Amino acid sequence: MKPLYLGALIGLVVSGSIGGYYYLQNNGLNEAQLEAARTLSLASLPTLPTDPSNAVADNPAAIALGQSLFNETALSANGKVACATCHLENSQFQDDLPLGQGIGTTDRRTMPLLGVGYASWLFWDGRKDSLWSQALGPIESTVEHGFTRTQVATYVAKNYQEPYEALLGPLTTLETLPAASPLGNDTQQTAWAELDSEQQNDINQIFANVGKSIAAFERTLLPVENQFDRYTAALLAGESPTEKATLSQKEIDGFKIFVGKGECIQCHNGPRLTDEFFHNTGVASPQNSVQNPVIDHGRADAIAIVEADIFNCLGPYSDANQDQCGELRFMSRDEHLFERAFKPPSLRGVAERAPYMHAGQLATLSLVIEHYNNAPTAVSGHTELNPLGLSTNEKASLLAFLEVL
Ligand code: HEC
Ligand code: HEC
């Protein structure tokens, strides 16, 4: 045999057995699957990105103030609704309901908040570009807190003067003001229009600062380690999975479908299992669409809203320089492309927070899997999904994998 062939043959045998050894070592995952597992595991979570639009984003005093405000029911029309009413600490900061219940009923499902400090766009449609400007939305929503920004400013001046001033500087003296907001009902809008622009600005400033404190608190809510993270850590450390860090064969098969045939990783990627972008996945309108007769256009409608928002990154209440607002300045404005597109939620802890989708349309994870397997036509716009052709066994494995997250 010529030396060249002999070399090639030895090479083949050696690499073949290394491959086989590697395969067994990695609990049946090939190199690409192991790499995918690494990217999805909590160990890959980068440090929390800074928020230049919020000068107190990581200030401990702001975190403490924000935590009080998050739980403060007095910031609502009936004195009963706080952020924590819908975002419950013991339920991943969501409420297990198809639609949120505040002063009235919201038209979308309450979103879980663990790891929300990593999101660039907030809400199912991303109509807010920072955590602090997001927090201002529910306070003035007629179905959530039903409050107004003048009431917020007056309440904070009266009840939180000391912590507020220590953190954010002197509070403007506010004489008794009517409930007023540019977003409220007719009376509230008229009352707002009657304030002079200096008063409006002072109130907006306090309102924005309330949002910034709440955001500082929300940034401390982080995802927690699960069985999949422990399993992946063991594999990557070259240890064979122990009882504390193992997955069953069914769960491993489900993981392989998640990153392979199921194409889930296309949108549910990174350690939070979301790409933080917007996709039309053909989810139907809610059953009770008598109550929701209007089609929810998702991201398509949100683009103009975030652009016009005075509390966005480029607005007068932001602490960022223009060049720190890249996400907003360079966002895609193609409304057609984003028709009925929504943000994929993080799938961490997903099995414990039914029902699913932006209006709780799907009651169980099995129905979610059926949805992906069938890839129905979109109500409007175009779905990005293709039918998957998963067998009964494959669907069961995928479900088992989602349950370990
Ligand atoms: C009545 C229930 C309710 C109340 C009260 C409420 N929320 Fe929400 N929250 C929701 C719903 C519903 C959504 C999704 C709404 C949408 O996409 O249009 C949401 C979305 C969010 C999001 C977006 C998460 C993400 O991943 O994009 C954050 C952050 C949030 N809420 C924080 C708050 C804060 C802070 C408060 C208090 C100031 C608050 N919420 C009050 C129901 C509520
Ligand atoms: C094209 C992007 C895309 C792909 C591919 C995709 N998803 Fe999703 N996923 C989304 C979006 C967007 C939502 C929210 C849709 C909505 O509410 O209308 C979502 C929602 C979910 C939810 C509900 C989460 C919740 O809290 O409501 C689960 C579970 C889920 N996906 C699992 C999967 C699985 C499993 C696969 C693979 C079979 C998959 N996804 C593939 C984009 C995608």
**Nearest protein CA to atom 37 of ligand 1, as residue:** 83
Question: Is the distance from the beta carbon of residue 255 to the nearest atom of ligand 2 less than 6 Å?
Answer: no
Which atom from ligand 2 is nearest to the alpha carbon of 112? 26
Q: Which of 263, 368, 374, 405 to mutate to test the pocket of ligand 2 (most atoms within 8 A of CB)?
A: 368
Query: Tokens 């499902």 appear where?
Result: 109
CA-to-CA separations, 281 to 272, 377, 385, in angstroms, rounded: 19, 9, 6
Q: How many degrees, rounded to 5, is the angle at CA 382 between CA 379 and CA 385?
A: 105
d(CA 139, CA 135): 7
Instruction: Output the tens digit of pLDDT for each of the chain's 405 residues.
Output: 455 555 555 555 445 444 444 445 577 899 999 999 999 999 999 999 999 999 999 999 999 999 999 999 999 999 999 999 999 999 999 999 999 999 999 999 999 999 999 999 999 999 999 999 999 999 999 999 999 999 999 999 999 999 999 999 998 777 788 999 999 899 999 999 999 999 999 999 999 999 999 999 999 999 999 999 999 999 999 888 787 889 999 999 999 999 999 999 999 999 999 999 999 999 999 876 555 567 999 999 999 999 999 999 999 999 999 999 999 999 999 999 999 999 999 999 999 999 999 999 999 999 999 999 999 999 999 999 999 999 999 999 999 999 999
Nearest bound ligand to the CA of residue 373 = 2
Task: Name, in order, each residue with C-beta under 8 angstroms of 186's C-beta and a sequence gap of 6 or more.
Answer: none
Distance, CA 178 to ligand 2 centroid (Å)?
Answer: 44
Tokens of 151: 């009431």
Query: Tokens 């997955």 appear where?
Result: 247
Is there a contact between 133 and 149 (Cβ–Cβ < 8 Å)? no
CA-to-CA separations, 107 to 295, 296, 344, 362, 381, in angstroms, rounded: 11, 9, 17, 15, 20
CA-to-CA separations, 210 to 12, 152, 165, 364, in angstroms, rounded: 65, 8, 12, 37
d(CA 293, CA 304): 22
> Residues with Cβ within 6 A of ligand 1?
81, 83, 85-87, 100-102, 106, 108-111, 113, 116, 119, 122-125, 131, 134-135, 138-139, 144-145, 214, 218
Minimal CA–CA distance to 273: which of 373, 326, 343?
343
Distance, CA 113 to ligand 1 centroid (Å)?
Answer: 9
